Structure 1
């Protein structure tokens, strides 16, 4: 059994489709991928996937194998990352990740702190979905990430901010004439919900709607902030989104605060508990300073 078999299997499970996994994730042909998955099942000695016209689902054996496959791959990648770092001990490196859009607020101040303490530090920066950031931290690819407190990962979290959700809508929507939007005014509007990748945000939205006793059935679900903006503009739908996303709004969409007790969502700095990097320790010790700098930024 080779590592590529595990990567292929995980890609198929995460996309739910042999075709999508082959074309978009693995850049190979669907027949070739099918053969690789069949080889893996032959080596394991049982079927791992149920194939149908609608895609693939895991068998009971596949569910068990998937958890172990992902763990094994994570451990290998963490080992590779650790070996690379150990091969160049004289060069200090620090990798930061940001929930897409949050780098606009936090990166300049984080870099100021890092450069003040370690002017020759090699810093790399990336932005992504929160679950992908959590996985990168868990694998050792990132030292820290500004993200949501993802429940499926055993990471240490330090909250650095909390922001309200706002109503996102087309710029010419009737609700745009309101100073604030009451939750019941959203009833009957085409609602764009959060997808499976935005687990924490979706949970905050669902809890809020239950609390205010408003039922909104999503007509579309998305994870990407840019796609949220596009759908709001094209379908004339509305959605609830963290206030920071207002930095990403095109002219065709606008936002309004929620009336009453609006829900809040936390932004945290996540890091791996076993990461004993002195640079990480230094950075975490300056989180209070970082929050003050952001709080008083113009």
Structure 2
């Protein structure tokens, strides 16, 4: 018994017609197909079909045979696929993690640097909080990360940009009429602060306000920028966030630059020095190109 006999049998059983199966599925002549089916029945030793006015119908033996024929064909197809997979060398995996939102600005640069490598690798991209990116770099789950400088014993950082912080406030807030927001203007406003999760950003904001002589107790503390934007819209508070969030603002929220020299927060690429990935080596060789180009995203300054 050959696999082609099983394919012929399944096709006729599913179409209910020798003619239709021959012409539409098997692309063979109807007399040849009928002869192959007779040979199959002889080999099995029992009648598999009945031929009547309504076409071809399966006998009880044919129905029992159909399930096993389908399984045999499926297993044969899987055997072929497994052999082909084994014959192909496995693609190397290169995993990049981004502080949520930063992929908008930096992923185009990464793919440009790695353009020659991409057809030959399994390129994975994820979006996480900065501490989670750092943890994944430390554990080896990620090869490369775009994040804040989060202290981890085995992770090396290279700063690629210094992002200014801006004031995020409701679009109908009285300070939204100003071209810039002075630090003193924040006094008496509901300030949205930060929890211990984005601790690098929290430290930058706290240091800035202290240096400006502004004392404000935050009305809320947030873990991420999305929560901050939501609270600005719902509580009419003000948050100080990096400029990379500007393209993500809804119509009800606007950004305004801070008057004077604004605080900045570092964005870095992180990686493990003991990572021997040639793809990482290619990226690091092109990192100067990435730094010179700067963020690729389009800023919305209104």
TM-score range, shorter chain: 0.5 to 0.7
CA distance in 2, matches of 1:187, 1:111: 44
Instruction: Give unmatched runs, 5+ long, in structure 2.
Output: 1-87
Q: Secondary structure at the match of 2:126?
A: strand
**For residue 259 of structure 1, what is the aligned residue in structure 2?**
259
The Cα offsets for residues 233-278 of structure 1, whole Å up to 9 and x where unpaired, read as 0000001000111121011110100001110111000012221211
**For residue 239 of structure 1, what is the aligned residue in structure 2?**
239
Q: TM-score scaled by structure 2?
A: 0.67
Q: Secondary structure at the match of 2:146?
A: strand
C-alpha distance 283-230 of structure 1, shift in aligned 2 (>3 A): same
**For residue 164 of structure 1, what is the aligned residue in structure 2?**
164
1:288 aligns with 2:288: yes
C-alpha distance 152-184 of structure 1, shift in aligned 2 (>3 A): farther
RMSD of aligned C-alpha atoms?
A: 1.7
CA distance in 1, matches of 2:118, 2:173: 49
Q: Secondary structure at the match of 2:241?
A: strand
Q: TM-score scaled by structure 1?
A: 0.68
CA distance in 2, matches of 1:191, 1:276: 45
**For residue 187 of structure 2, what is the aligned residue in structure 1?**
187
Question: Do the aligned residues in 1 keep the contact of 2:111 with 2:118 (CA within 8 Å)?
Answer: no
1:208 aligns with 2:208: yes
CA distance in 2, matches of 1:158, 1:183: 30
Question: Do the aligned residues in 1 keep the contact of 2:105 with 2:296 (CA within 8 Å)?
Answer: no
Q: Secondary structure at the match of 1:142?
A: coil
The Cα offsets for residues 143-176 of structure 1, whole Å up to 9 and x where unpaired, read as 0110000125541001111110000000100000
1:292 Cα offset (Å): 2.9
**For residue 73 of structure 1, what is the aligned residue in structure 2?**
none
1:119 Cα offset (Å): 2.7
Bigger-Rg structure (1/2): 2
Q: Secondary structure at the match of 2:219?
A: strand
**For residue 91 of structure 1, what is the aligned residue in structure 2?**
91
C-alpha distance 226-158 of structure 1, shift in aligned 2 (>3 A): same
Q: Secondary structure at the match of 2:151?
A: coil
CA distance in 2, matches of 1:198, 1:100: 12
CA distance in 2, matches of 1:152, 1:212: 31
1:186 Cα offset (Å): 0.3
Q: Secondary structure at the match of 1:132?
A: helix
**For residue 133 of structure 2, what is the aligned residue in structure 1?**
133
Q: Secondary structure at the match of 2:116?
A: helix
Question: Do the aligned residues in 1 keep the contact of 2:167 with 2:257 (CA within 8 Å)?
Answer: yes
The Cα offsets for residues 110-157 of structure 1, whole Å up to 9 and x where unpaired, read as 112212344322100001110000001101110011000012554100
The Cα offsets for residues 78-126 of structure 1, whole Å up to 9 and x where unpaired, read as xxxxxxxxxx984211000001111001101211221234432210000
Q: Secondary structure at the match of 1:115?
A: coil
1:295 Cα offset (Å): 5.6
Question: Do the aligned residues in 2 keep the contact of 1:101 with 1:244 (CA within 8 Å)?
Answer: yes
Instruction: Give unmatched runs, 5+ long, in structure 1.
Output: 1-87
